[in-house]
Amino acid sequence: MSEKRKFKKRFCKYCEAKIDFIDYKDLYQLKHSLSERFKIMPRRLTGNCKRHQDIVTIAIKRARQTALIPYIIDRKNVVENPFEVIR
């Protein structure tokens, strides 16, 4: 299944939730914009607005620096839902 299909509806999840600030420690909010390999999802797939995409990008990069999110994932260790490991 292509990744595009999962994000057919185009609306900003963060605008809908009326989130103004995204904490890098709040992985539940960050995971909307992370792919299953912990890459930052591009805006054309998530439908985020520019403002929130910028906020999320900064938050994700901070979370990586603090080792909350891995920079890379070993191909052998790819699991269906990597966020189960985090929780």
* Phi, psi for 40 (deg, rounded to 5): -75, 125
Min. distance of Cβ 46 from Zn ion in angstroms? 10
* Residue 86 interacting with Zn ion (CB under 5 A): no
* Residue 52 interacting with Zn ion (CB under 5 A): yes
* Residue 15 interacting with Zn ion (CB under 5 A): yes
Min. distance of Cβ 51 from Zn ion in angstroms? 6
* Residue 19 interacting with Zn ion (CB under 5 A): no
